[in-house]
Amino acid sequence: MWIYILVMILAIACFGKILHLIIFQRSLYEGTSSKCLDKTKPDWEKNPLASDSTCNCFVVQNDLKPVRGEIYDDKGRLLISNYSVFDITLDGRMLQPKRYRKGQKEIVNDTIYCGNNLKISRSGDVQKMNQLVENLATRFYAQFKDRFPNKGLDYYRKQFSRAIKEQKNVLILRSNILRERQWITSDDTAAIGKMPLLMKKRKGGLHYTIRSVRINPYGDMAKRTLGMYTDSRKYGLETAFNKQLEGDIGAQKYLYVNEARIPLNERIEPKDGLNVHSTLNLEIQNIVHNELLKILIEQNGEWGCAVVMETQTGQVKAISNLTRVNNEGGIYREGQQNYALTAMVEPGSTFKLASLLAFLERTPNDMDKKYPISAHTFVRKSKSGKEYRYAKTDGHDHAEELTFPIDVFQRSSNVGIASMVFDKYSIDNYQSFLKKIDSMYITTSFTTQLGKIYAPNIKRKASDFHSYYNACFGTGFTMTPIQTLIYFNAVANGGKMILPLFVNYVTNKDDTIKNYEAEVIAEQIAKRSTIKRAQMYLKSVITGEHGTGRNYADKSFSFAGKTGTRDIWDESTQSYLKNKNSVSFCGYFPADNPKYTAIVFIYNVPRKSSIAVKVFAAIGKAVMNTAHLAALQEVPKQNVKTFPSAKAVSIYDLPYILGKYGVSADVGKMQTPYVSASMQENQKLIMKATPFSAARNNPNVFGLTAADAVYELTKLGFKVTIYGRGRVNNQQYDMNAKTAVLHLNP
């Protein structure tokens, strides 16, 4: 009976407490009470509660960070992804002695449990405590000495001693977000998890602060263009498309009352960032990067850049900006400056295409007159009739000779190109020449997805002979390499000028949010007849008897373009340095049906423009041989129709590849992302599924190309290391550390 009564009294008391909380203290626990300081409101510091030391009710708001979007190439392969790194803290407060009562007696347990049956008493095992500190310090030093050389063994002894002996919360190591070499990764946490005490994780005081960083799976390739967005470094696609990539921050309000932390209902979910699909192509980017790097090392150039864009679409398929790290050693990196878009350099003889276009626009028949080359004395009269003579040469001791404009152009004669311009625009009318090249948008500033391209700083109000003469062949003013590429591409594109495009579209998890197309600057920068003849002139630079690029003519690979060489101007001596040159070649390929337009620019080398032609030709050949057909392996020639065999090709690429050989295939029934294809002797197409597994606990990328393998494994969260070239023929995984090592063979 009494028990029943006591239970009823307890129930009534609980019910009364609930009513009290609902009626009288509801506002307090909702954070709306006048006794609560709401730190989420503007000017909360002016609230009298902010200075009230007895206030124990606060409302605060924590930001919920969204997942930043990723950047892909034109085939959907990851170029920039999110990666988790760690800061390591040891909270010695978790190791404090445990106190509890047993009857009237207080029991103190000062034992530290280190795992693997290792127990250490603070009061009784001082030597073991010292050994534990020394053990941890030694193992941390061995693990991180290469990455954190400023952290010696004594540093780790001090930090672990403070945490374990003094029972303090101590930061042991912090990842350097800006330096990949100083990231603490899951490989490290796996090793730390095997150390004494730390294997107990939270019970041992170990705490990881996880931070998200951006990782480039392909290292330095296109790193400058892909960019970065941090507090101190903002550039490239990461910055240009930051609004799309960053997503929307969410928020969660919390109530702190009487030292209790209570989440409130006011929660805004974060919205993850969008994914950016760039125009870059991994295979082409790899070619451009390696060929540019090779010539820079060979010539010890100061820096260089190269760009490849699709002629008709303006899509930039590759862009490399390499700079020398030091004066010796041949080490080059993708620097913070995007030379292709921002380096203001004298264009040199590549600018002769602009002068040629101006000449051809006023010359219906370019075979009815010859012009001087090698040497010529120009005569200019003043208003009073006085004659001024200017003797000019092409830099070598030859007498004047006359030749047709196409020969002037392929020889790259400064004297000749100036004579042609002066003949059509007058030696006294520099402004007329400027007006003409302005009308073709050659000297215009542009705004691209990566920012503004500044107009050439060509002299505009000059009236002297030398400024006019030098401008005809790209001297005495500066412009960016991409500016040259833009109007060369217009000539390759039949006269249609478009801006370079770096991003195709952005997507969320389900749909395409926005598509981008290249901006058209002009449908026709010059008359169609002018463009056709200009194309013939550009071909002659390679195929002509005196063409400056004739040494790299190849029957199996046709290309057209213009060479450029400029001595580098030295501000200290106010003169040009004859042994230091900037060299370039801008053009397109194939010559008769241009698919790609490209520029190679190399700064501060002793050689002339032939080395730029060499790089351009190597890039062009490799691109034409590998673009879209990288996975194909040619079979021996027979009397039957030659057909390649394809091994481990993406099911999305196969129809395009087969179409190049006039073969159609129904891949709709293939239930696999990768297939192999071959033609039997009876001309029957055989397609087979390639053994492939995207299972997180059992991935298999055997036989895939490096690009496809890295793409698939990165999606599964693996950090991939690659050795060799070709296809995957050996794969090793560490499932705990989420790392993969792939060995390739051709």
Express each pLDDT in 367-384 by its tens digit.
999 999 999 999 998 877
User: Mean pLDDT across the stretch 716-741?
Assistant: 78
Instruction: Yes or no: say if 275 and 71 are a contact pair by the CB < 8 Å rule.
Output: yes
Reported as a single tens digit per residue, the pLDDT across 392-428 is 998 777 788 999 999 999 999 999 999 999 999 999 9
Rounded to whole angstroms, how far apart are CA atoms 149 and 152? 7
Residues 24-36, mean pLDDT to the nearest whole number: 60
Does 633 have pLDDT greater than 80?
A: no
> Residue 448: its pLDDT value, please?
95
Residue 257: is its pLDDT beyond 80? no
**What are the pLDDT digits (tens) for 347-373?**
999 999 999 999 999 999 999 999 999
In angstroms, the CA 190 to CA 76 distance is 31
Distance CA 60, CA 655 (A): 57
The more confidently predicted of residues 1 and 544 is 544
Cα dihedral 180/212/341/570 (nearest 10) = -40
pLDDT of residue 643: 56
Give the residue with greater pLDDT, 291 vs 49: 291
Count Cβ atoms within 10 A of the Cβ of residue 277 and give its class: 0-12 exposed, 13-18 middle, 19 or more buried: buried
Pair 241, 273: CB distance under 8 Å: no
pLDDT in the model for residue 645: 60
pLDDT digits (tens, 9 = 90+) for 648-685: 777 666 666 666 566 666 665 666 677 777 766 556 66
- Does 733 score more than 90 pLDDT? no
- 89 has a pLDDT exceeding 80: yes
Contacts of 484 (CB under 8 A, 6+ apart): 347, 350, 351, 584, 586, 599
Residue 343 CB neighbour total at 10 angstroms: 19
pLDDT of residue 628: 46
How many Å separate Cα 534 from the centre of its chain? 35
Instruction: Say whether the peptide bond before residue 590 is cis (omega within 30 degrees of 0).
Output: yes
pLDDT digits (tens, 9 = 90+) for 206-233: 999 988 888 888 888 888 899 888 888 8
Q: Which of 293, 290, 320 shows the shortest CA–CA distance to 305?
A: 320
State the pLDDT confidence band at 51, using cuts at 50, 70 and 90.
confident
Confidence at residue 259, expressed as pLDDT on a 0 to 100 scale: 65
Whether residue 632 has pLDDT greater than 60: no
| Strand, coil or helix: 523 | coil
Instruction: Find the mean pLDDT for residues 725-744.
Output: 79
Reply yes or no on domain 282-626 having CATH 3.40.710.10: yes
C-alpha 35/C-alpha 245 separation (Å) is 41
Query: How far apart are alpha carbons 151 and 668 in whole angstroms?
Result: 58
Pick 154 or 265 by higher pLDDT. 154
Q: What is the pTM of this model?
A: 0.74
Q: Kindly write down the DSSP assignment for every residue of 616-674, as one continuous string.
A: HHHHHHHHHHHTTTTTEEPPPP-SSPP--EEEEEETTTHHHHHHTTT-----TT--SSE
Q: What are the structural domain ranges in the chain?
A: 2-63, 65-71+81-217, 282-626, 632-745
Least confident of 11-25, 428-442, 645-659: 11-25
Please compute the mean of the pLDDT values over residues 493-520 and round it to a whole number: 94
**In whole angstroms, what separates CA 312 from the centre of its chain?**
23
pLDDT band (50, 70, 90) for residue 29: low
Q: Residue range 75-92: average pLDDT? A: 90
Please tell me the least confidently modeled range out of 35-39, 187-191, 380-384, 589-593: 35-39
Q: Regarding predicted confidence, which is higher, 639 or 488? A: 488
Among 188, 195, 117, 198, residue whose Cα is nearest residue 148: 188
Q: What own/partner pairs with CB < 8 Å and gap ≥ 24 does 645-648 have? A: 645/676, 645/677, 645/678, 645/679, 646/675, 646/676, 646/677, 646/678, 647/676, 647/690, 647/703, 647/727, 648/674, 648/675, 648/676, 648/690, 648/692, 648/703, 648/704, 648/705, 648/708, 648/727
pLDDT at 83 over 90: no
Helix axes 153-164, 126-144, angle to 10 degrees: 140
Residue 458 has pLDDT above 90, yes or no: yes
Tell me what pLDDT residue 630 has: 47
> 638-649: per-residue pLDDT in tens?
444 455 566 677
Length of the chain: 746
* Whether the predicted pLDDT of 341 surpasses 70: yes
pLDDT the model gives residue 639: 44
Query: Mean pLDDT over residues 715-723, rounded?
Result: 76
- State the number of CA atoms in the 13 A half-sphere of 131 facing the CB: 10
Find out whether 617 and 557 touch, Cβ atoms under 8 Å: yes
Report d(CA 392, CA 544) in Å as an integer. 25
